[in-house]
Chains A and B, each alone.
Chain A
Amino acid sequence: MSAIRQVRIPQQEEISAPAAERDRENPLELLRDAIARLKSSDSGVPDEAEVAYLLAEAREVLERAKVIARAVSQCETFLGEGQFGKAFEALDAGLLVFPGDPALLARRREVEARAALQEANWLYEQDRVDLAAQFLREKAEALANQETVVARLEELEALLPVWEQKRHAQAALARAASLEQLSQWQAALTVLEEALQAYPASEELLAGAQRVRECLVEHERRKKLARRLELIAQKIAAQSWRQALTLVESTRAEFPGAPELAPLRREIDAGVRQAECDAVVAEVRQHMADGELDQAEAALRQGRKLLGAETALEALREELLAEKKYRDDLRTAQVLFGRRQLPEAEQILAQLVAEGRPEARALLEAVREARAAMEEENFLENGRQKALELIQQQQFAAAADLLRNLLLLFPGNPFLERDLSAAQAGLEPKAADTAPAAGHVAAPEPEPLPELQTASGDDAPVREIAPLRFRRAAIAGTASLLLVSAGGAAWKLTRGDAPVSRPPQRQEVAQVSSAAAASEPSVTEPPDSPPPVSLTVAADPASSKSQTQPAPERAAALRQFVPPGAKATASQASALPAPPGAEPAVSAVAIPGLPVAEVKPSDVLAPPAPAQAPVAKPVLPPGGNFQQAELMTRTLPEYPMFARTRGVYGMVRMDAVIDEHGEVKNVKILAGDPVLAAAAKKTVLTWRYKPATLNGKPIAANVAIQIVFGDRSR
């Protein structure tokens, strides 16, 4: 193209000569005329100069023709190869030799027209109709005679409006698309609508606008759905399950088929179920906290019926079963505690504590405390019995050692002090000789010795075999014992606030004075009469419990171990020591003129049998509604004259079985003076009880009975 532009195009008038003149000036014709003239005879001999000129002219013409032919030939060759530049170079080379050659000029314009058309076609193919039209428009001015160019220009100009419309529409669509990518739906729609105002018939714009409108609607719909979903999520988070469910239903009606609603619906269903489950759990737990296990079980059963096998409910069921078992175990332990079956109660409670039931720990501590107190009491009784045996066997040193140890554990115990004095007296043989000289009332009497010996063991062989020194010592020790017994009575008379049957720290026996004997006045005693005594038949609910805690407080403390759910069960209440005044403390009433005993069945916390002499207790099923035996009728023991005249007093502890008919069976003497014990046992066998019941059925049960033969004047 550049070659085309470099060549100056001759003016139209330069190359447009008349045809006749062109023929006349045709060099070949002129040469042919000149040769004809030379051959003609008319002209004679041709002038050589003229012929030479003609020959030169002819050669020039020939040369010109050759150049033109070669240029045209090369041009055609290059055009065939599509190399317009070389084609122009070939023509321009010819024109350089023969400038203004009309053939070459014409040929060059044709080549220019073809090049222009090719360029325009290329632009057209590149969808630049405007540029193609403009290019041809510029070329058409120079190539006005080229019809193909003009025709093509007209075609392009006809296509140009449609093309421009299409181009504007595509630009608008592209801009709208970029805005759509930015989610600027409204702006994209505005762009397209503006474009439509210019080209209202553009289908592309119409389709694009419609699509953007749909997108806009879908976008608004999604925004609304998102707001709804967020609101539902808020309701779910607030556990407002009903409101959430209503919202989901309305949203589903408005947006049918929205996939986001399905998981929310499932979550709400699960939440509603969980809420119902939680409500059941809360109700059951409330019942459990209130101790209403039956109601808790009913609520749980109903919940399981409604909700099926929910994991939480199954776990709660396990927990409820464990709780019931715990309550049963605790109740069993309480009953066992009440029956003084302390090791069994301790075993159950220790297991409960080990299972993580700290509330059982307090009861366990109480049981252990009671057990320790029971062990100590047993040890005191057994140790004292052993010491007495040793004294009887004249092993005074061993007896004194034992009694010293006992006194270290139970300081101030008058019995132990008395026994220790007796043992120490036995260690000093001279005391036996001096004892009768002391002038005590009971010392000279020979009768008590066999009775006491019978009571404490068979000592006759010892007396026969033992040397005289030991025999005297035995007599002296026994005499001292009796002296001390009488002295103990005097000691008790002088210490009105001191206990008579137990160490001072264990004075918890409800004691009621009685006449010394059935035949004696109950209140006043003549100064010269035998030492007045009191008879106390005691049921001591707290006798074996803590020494430092008052009985009512301990009873109250024990009551708190009873689970709330057991309140309705009378057995538990009866199995616990009642505070003073809560129940008739002692049913006995003083009978004027007769020995009065205050009797209460120490069914619950009475001291048990010692370990080395276990009483055959009836086997009772643990748990259940246990009602202890109640004393109905009783007579009072006679104070044996033998004991009364010698100042023998003290407590007799017995363990008896009350059979199903309320009769007293199998009375075991646990502690006490043998003479007093025989009288006590004889009387107790005549007593009648209302039998103990287990779940309303009478059963045999153990009761512990304590009878204190004491000083009535206190």
Chain B
Amino acid sequence: MSSHPVSQIAGQVTRYLFGSVRYTQRDPSVVIAVLNLKGGCGKSTIAVNLACELASGTESVLLVDNDSQGTASHWLSHGRLPVAGEYMPLETDEDGERLVRAVAGRNERYVVLDAPAHVGAAAFAAGKIADLVLVPVTASGVDLVATRTVVDLVRRAREVRRSGTPKCLIVPSKIDRRTDAGRRIDEQVREFGESIGPAVHQRTAFVDAFGAGQWIGEYAPLSPAHYDITALAMAVKRSLRI
């Protein structure tokens, strides 16, 4: 304590003003990017249903539609999903910077990005701010080629960030085990050297849920499709925790 009267008064004023003030702090949002450079691999299906599954607990979730196709936004437009949504297409470098600023200012526990189906600085920006990148992969040779590019993008983002993030989870998508390709998908994605998540199978319930504007947990609770998403959410949480 300073003995100078001015210092004493200043100290008392400071204690009076700030003694009862408590600064609040929050954890930054966990950013999950669903990313693949090939269209039709189930990005929006996985992004929307995963976001809703994460939001089914007590956590708040923001779903950001970065795809100019606007599939997720259309899904959200029915107003039946338990998540907040934003349409923010990523086309240019400026869009990437805008995305970074927008995500940094959010309070939601999870931010799920439905990334665009093309590579570029904007997609790279999504990879740079993501904590986890989900790469949906269908049992198709074309998908496997596109996945290689995404995995390379993720690894470049890791080099830039020098922190081992973003983590990567390859999600077999639209899998039908009755087909030969569906049975061999696990072996094929293992070659990428990244973690493999639970498979999201080819189920009509997903299509019907999209048509109804609902997520699978609301449209067909406790259905196999719902269990697919639940398992994926479990794997996502586990990946983020470890």
Contacts and interface: CB of A to CB of B under 8 A. Distances in A.
Interface stretch (B1-9, B32-40, B139-147, B148-156): B1-9
Contacts of A402: 224, 227-228, 231
B163 interface: no
Nearest to B235: A409
B16 A315 contact: yes
Interface stretch (B21-29, B70-78, B127-135): B21-29
Contacts of B234: 375-376, 379, 409
A214 interface: no
A353 B25 contact: yes
A406 B19 CA distance: 52
B227 A315 contact: no
A274 B237 contact: no
Interface stretch (A34-42, A223-231, A328-336, A393-401): A393-401
A270 B5 contact: yes
A405 interface: yes
Interface in A342-385: 343, 346-347, 353-356, 369, 372, 375-376, 379, 383
B230 interface: yes
A345 to B, nearest CB: 11
B198 interface: yes
B199 A386 contact: no
Given A274-B8, A356-B23, A404-B199, A315 B58 contact: no
Interface in A100-137: none
Given A386-B227, A409-B234, A397 B222 contact: no
A400 B186 CA distance: 14
A259 B241 CA distance: 71
A400 B25 CA distance: 45
B20 interface: yes
A314 B175 CA distance: 66
B228 A401 contact: yes
Contacts of A239: 1, 3
A386 B198 CA distance: 16
Contact of B24 (A354, A398, A401, A409): A354
B201 A408 contact: no
Given A239-B3, A271-B3, A390 B231 contact: no
B80 interface: no
Nearest to B240: A372
A270 B2 CA distance: 13
Contacts of A400: 177
B197 interface: yes
A313 B3 CA distance: 18
A372 B177 contact: no
B12 interface: yes
Contacts of A369: 241
A238 to B, nearest CB: 8
A462 interface: no
A386 B178 contact: no
A471 B198 CA distance: 30
B41 to A, nearest CB: 18
A278 B15 CA distance: 13
Contacts of B5: 267, 270
B222 A386 contact: yes
A385 to B, nearest CB: 10
Nearest to A266: B5
B196 interface: yes
A395 B175 CA distance: 16
A665 B85 CA distance: 46
Nearest to B225: A398
Interface in B183-242: 196-199, 201, 222, 224, 227-228, 230-231, 234-235, 237-238, 241
Given A267-B5, A315-B16, A612-B222, A405 B25 contact: no
B224 to A, nearest CB: 4
Contact of B231 (A278, A353, A409): A409
A369 B237 CA distance: 10
A311 B228 CA distance: 60
Nearest to A236: B3
Contact of B201 (A271, A316, A401): A401
B189 to A, nearest CB: 12
Given A311-B12, A379-B230, A401 B238 contact: no
B234 to A, nearest CB: 6
A315 B3 contact: no
Q: How large is the interface on A (under 10, 10 to 19, 20 to 34, 35 or more residues)?
A: 35 or more
A312 interface: yes
A405 B231 contact: yes
Contact of B198 (A267, A319, A346, A405): A405
A267 B7 CA distance: 12
Contacts of B199: 401, 404-405, 408
A406 B1 CA distance: 62
Contacts of A236: 3
A138 interface: no
B20 A315 contact: yes
Given A237-B3, A402-B227, A315 B198 contact: no
A354 B12 contact: no
B227 A354 contact: no
A281 B46 CA distance: 57
A408 B197 CA distance: 7
A318 interface: yes
Contact of A355 (B22, B177, B178, B228): B22
A322 interface: yes
A402 B227 CA distance: 7
A507 B230 CA distance: 25
B23 to A, nearest CB: 5
B26 A406 contact: no
A409 B22 contact: no
A381 B26 CA distance: 33
A314 B16 CA distance: 8
B20 A401 contact: no
A356 B25 contact: yes
B19 A318 contact: yes
B205 to A, nearest CB: 11
Interface in B56-111: 57-58
B16 to A, nearest CB: 5
Contacts of A612: 222
B228 to A, nearest CB: 7
Contacts of B227: 383, 386, 402, 405
Residue picked from B1, B23, B224, most chain A C-beta under 10 Å: B224
A379 B19 contact: no
Interface string A211-222: 000000000000
B236 to A, nearest CB: 11
Contacts of A356: 22-25
A384 to B, nearest CB: 11
Contact of A278 (B1, B24, B57): B1
A354 B26 contact: yes
A401 B203 CA distance: 11
Contacts of A386: 222, 224, 227
B15 A312 contact: yes
B134 to A, nearest CB: 14
Contacts of B228: 401-402, 405
B177 A408 contact: no
Contacts of B57: 343
Given A347-B58, A397-B178, 4 more contacts: A236-B3, A322-B22, A409-B198, A409-B234
Task: Please name the 9 residue pairs, one residue from A and one from B, whose CB atoms are nearest each other, closest first.
Answer: A315-B19, A405-B198, A405-B231, A398-B224, A318-B20, A315-B15, A311-B12, A354-B24, A355-B22
Interface of A: 236-239, 267, 270-271, 274, 278, 311-312, 314-316, 318-319, 322, 343, 346-347, 353-356, 369, 372, 375-376, 379, 383, 386, 390, 395, 397-398, 400-402, 404-406, 408-409, 612
22 contacts: A267-B5, A271-B8, A278-B1, A312-B12, A312-B15, A314-B16, A316-B19, A322-B22, A346-B58, A354-B25, A356-B22, A356-B24, A356-B25, A372-B241, A386-B224, A395-B224, A400-B177, A401-B175, A401-B201, A402-B224, A405-B198, A409-B235
